[in-house]
Amino acid sequence: MKRLSRLRRHRAAGPILLIFALFTIGTTFQVASAVNNDATSVADRSVTIEEGKQIFLKGCSSCHGLNAEGGQIAPSLIGVGAASVDFQVATGRMPMADMSTQAMRKKPVYNAEEVNALATYVASLAPGPEVPGEEALNYERDGSVAEGGELFRTNCAMCHNFAAQGGALTQGKYAPTLMGVEPRHIYEAMITGPQSMPVFSDKTITPEEKLSIIKWIKAAESEPQLGGAALGRVGPVTEGLLVWTLGIGLLIGVAVWLAMKAR
């Protein structure tokens, strides 16, 4: 007790307390303002919506309609939400290069800011799934690889293949490879169900489970080639191709050499 009261009356006690208080308040403010950063002020938001609308009118409206109400060749975007726009535009799928069976992943046409403006505009039309924030995507912390693998094999492997390399669907459609896809986009695909993909709502697969799936995909992506050349990780087809070319080719080559008459 005596010691505590002596410290309380120490010369440095006041300044230390002050620094501590300032630090606490500053950090709290920082955290609070970080949370608020996403929700820009009403004025900023309306500016972004206006920007987004301009981009939309130039780049999207010829197919999706002047008010995103959809047309004969493109669906309505009212209520699809920011997540859907972010997935389709930031992965380069939209705007489509041609009206083939499926929008392909390609170099994005718009930069991150423009995508954000477009997403904000479309989200302003009607509520829909939102773009998950950084905090919601911390799959390294919140996911489990083994559980993710189990969920992936149950829900995703039937189209995307056991190692997330992609696979064929009917009529020329396909499930794309998931190698090198941003975690945010994988998450958005699950909640919005782009193209042939079904929606995996938070009731079917909880947000934590989604993070586990992402963690497993990322683990598969960075997995070293354990048994030698991976041969595309598509199963026995490439193995058969290799044995019928390199394997038997080498052996027949040697057989020809062995059977040559010694000169």
Chain residues in the site for other proteins (CB under 8 A): 101, 145-146, 149-150, 153-154, 157-163, 165-172, 174-175, 216, 219-220, 223, 225-231, 233-240, 242-244, 246-248, 250-252, 254-256, 258-259, 261
Q: Two tokens at 193?
A: 């169900």
DSSP state of 200: -
Contact call for residues 234 and 175 (beta carbons, < 8 A):
no
Q: Two tokens at 103?
A: 């929008």
Shortest gap between Cβ of 151 and other proteins (angstroms)?
10
Buried b (16+ CB within 10 A) or exposed e, 12-49: eeeeeeeeeeeeeeeeeeeeeeeeeeeeeeeeeeeebb
Report the C-alpha gap between 80 and 159 in whole angstroms: 23
**Looking at this protein, which amino acid is placed at residue 247?**
G
Q: Two tokens at 74?
A: 């493109």
Shortest gap between Cβ of 139 and other proteins (angstroms)?
14
Residue whose entry in the numeric block shows the structure tokens 């924030």: 133
7 or 146: CB nearest other proteins = 146
Shortest gap between Cβ of 94 and other proteins (angstroms)?
20
71 or 232: CB nearest other proteins = 232
Contact call for residues 168 and 97 (beta carbons, < 8 A):
no
Peptide bond into 95 cis (omega under 30): yes
Contact call for residues 118 and 55 (beta carbons, < 8 A):
yes
Shortest gap between Cβ of 160 and other proteins (angstroms)?
6
Shortest gap between Cβ of 177 and other proteins (angstroms)?
9
Report the C-alpha gap between 67 and 76 in whole angstroms: 9
Contact call for residues 197 and 166 (beta carbons, < 8 A):
no
106 or 153: CB nearest other proteins = 153
Shortest gap between Cβ of 245 and other proteins (angstroms)?
10
DSSP state of 106: -
Report the C-alpha gap between 260 and 248 in whole angstroms: 18
Q: Two tokens at 174?
A: 């396909």
79 or 167: CB nearest other proteins = 167
15 or 236: CB nearest other proteins = 236
4 or 256: CB nearest other proteins = 256
63 or 104: CB nearest other proteins = 104
Shortest gap between Cβ of 131 and other proteins (angstroms)?
28
